[in-house]
Amino acid sequence: MFNQEFLNKLRNFMIFIVVYTLIFVLFFSTLSYTLPFVIGIIVSLVSLPIVKFLRYKLKFKESLSSLIAVIFVYTIFILILIGIFTKITYETKQLISSIPKINTIIPYIQEYFDKLRLYYDNIDPSLVPKIEEQITKFAYSSLDITITIFNKLLSLVLKLPVMFLILFVSFLSSYFFSKDMLNFKSSILNIFTTEGKIKFTRFVHELTKSITNYFKAYSFIVTITFLETFIGFTILRINYALILSIVAAIFDVLPILGVGAVYLSVAIYHIIIKKYIVAIGLLILYLIVTIVRQILEPKLVSTSLGLHPVAVLAAIFIGIKAYGFVGMLYLIFLMVLYNILKKINIL
């Protein structure tokens, strides 16, 4: 019924799907154990140009070149983190110092409760049990959320020794990977034929370019979210616009929370203190940020990865609906790898 060439392509495609899925599942299921070594590989790849410069231009020894390069990369990363942490700490202190001002919203809350009590006294008695049931559910849900947040914070504090251990192992693995990276690359190439070496080199080049472009695209999207939030909050004269913009940008990366967690919280606060114009402005700004992201994300990701925008949009939507953020990554990188393998005539 079908010609042999089509059947061969179909068979190769199915093998690719199975192998890719197994590797993807294995990678994410073991990531909690292999994280220091994954970080080590990433840092060694980032530091590779520095190692080459020190070894071949300045004639440093292999071990010294790797040590200097890895220390340099970690130092830059730590300095960036310290800068961000210092700024967030300063803004947080300013925010905490204003907590007594929050007492000013208590009269507004009391007024809302008085209105609610008046409404409750005049309501149909048959509806009272249902309303009480919903209020009880809401109270328990709020308590559960509070307990969950507290447990997460406590868990994070308890994991600090483990995090320091991960950092130490990551540093050591980065050094050893960096030290042996050039030799490892030569050893890998030696197992291929001449044609295989060319295809493997092209594959690594295309994959590295795709991953780099992918992170560049999302870094740009997060930066746009930060700038939109900061400019919008500044125009609306929201206090602590900088720290809230940073939090919104961080939440924008997280698959569960999103920028809505910041915008809606700030909007509710301004509704409580009867600044309705500001609250409406926040909701409009949130709508603008969401629309801009929905427009930019498929276009930027598709351009950076060399994929059709509709394919990327489908991968984002189906992946998130099926398995959340991990599902989205699975489908996007499935298409990227398929595109690369097809380009170098393997599939």
**Separation CA 262–CA 228 (nearest Å):** 13
- What pLDDT, in 10s, does the model give residues 147-205? 676 676 666 666 667 778 888 888 888 888 888 777 777 777 777 777 777 888 888 88
**Separation CA 203–CA 188 (nearest Å):** 13
Give the domain ranges of the chain.
12-107+123-191, 194-347
Q: Record the tokens describing residue 125, joined without a space.
A: 């008695």
CA-nearest of 273, 232, 274 to 249 is: 232
CA angle, 307 as apex, 305 and 312 as ends, to 5°?
95
**Separation CA 220–CA 228 (nearest Å):** 12
**Separation CA 10–CA 6 (nearest Å):** 6
- What pLDDT, in 10s, does the model give residues 238-293? 877 888 888 888 887 765 567 887 888 888 888 877 788 888 888 999 999 888 88
pTM of this prediction exceeds 0.95: no
CA-nearest of 343, 318, 342, 345 to 329 is: 318
Task: Spell out the residues 6+ positions from residue 81 whose beta carbon is closer than 8 angstroms to its own.
Answer: none
**Separation CA 81–CA 217 (nearest Å):** 21
Number of Cβ within a 10 Å radius of residue 39: 18
